[in-house]
Amino acid sequence: MTIDMWADTSRKMSYTKLTAHFINKEWELKSNRPSCSAHNLNIVLSHSFKADTLKAKGAQDMINTLGACKRTVTFNKKSELNQKLKRSVHQHVETRWNSKLMMLQLVERQIAEVRLLLDEERQSAKLEGFDEHLAKNLTKFLEFSEGNGPARERKGANVTSRAAMAE
């Protein structure tokens, strides 16, 4: 097995490529790059949720909701308000396929508590543009994607692939 890692600094993206090398019955060296459904799903979802893609589709409400969610989570992390929540909120990380889902789930499911904390800090503007109904629907969509993507594979996955999926 070989692993190649590189970064595209202009796009702020990191990449990893795994290659399996083996010798076949004819004693020939062969290489194979296994397909990674988590990576493929991340590519599709990342493209689908880019601001340019959403603007082109006339989905300004999605841009507003995701932006408000991200602003809120960033503020909660920096101000240490996370410690006051029952479950700490997580930031979206571009290279983790399900981090947008985790961010939305944790904000959407604690929205009343999040709003109270932001009000106490006079930071309620962080949630400006947040649409609770849309956030619930986005969460359901991403949960569906998770259930039909890498998470579904966990049932039959070995320990190594489960550890990789936990990233």
Domain match, 42 and 30 both: no
One domain, residues 123 and 143: yes
Q: Are residues 144 and 79 in the same domain?
A: yes
**Residue 18: which domain range?**
1-34
Which residues have C-beta within 8 Å of that of residue 19, sequence separation ≥ 6?
A: 1, 2, 3, 4, 31, 32, 33
Q: Are residue 47 and residue 102 in the same domain, yes or no? A: yes
Identify whether residues 20 and 58 lie together within a single domain. no
**Amino acid of residue 149:** G
Q: How many domains are there within the chain?
A: 2
**Rounded CA separation 75/148 (Å):** 32
Judgement on whether residues 85 and 116 belong to the same structural domain of the protein:
yes
CB of 153 closer than 8 Å to CB of 124: no
Closest CA to 71 of 112, 114, 10, 133: 114
Q: 127-144 pLDDT, tens per residue? A: 999 998 989 888 888 887
Span 49-105, pLDDT tens digits? 777 878 887 888 888 988 899 888 888 888 888 888 888 888 887 777 678 888 888
The DSSP call for residue 18 is: E
Confidence of residue 145 (pLDDT cuts 50, 70, 90): low
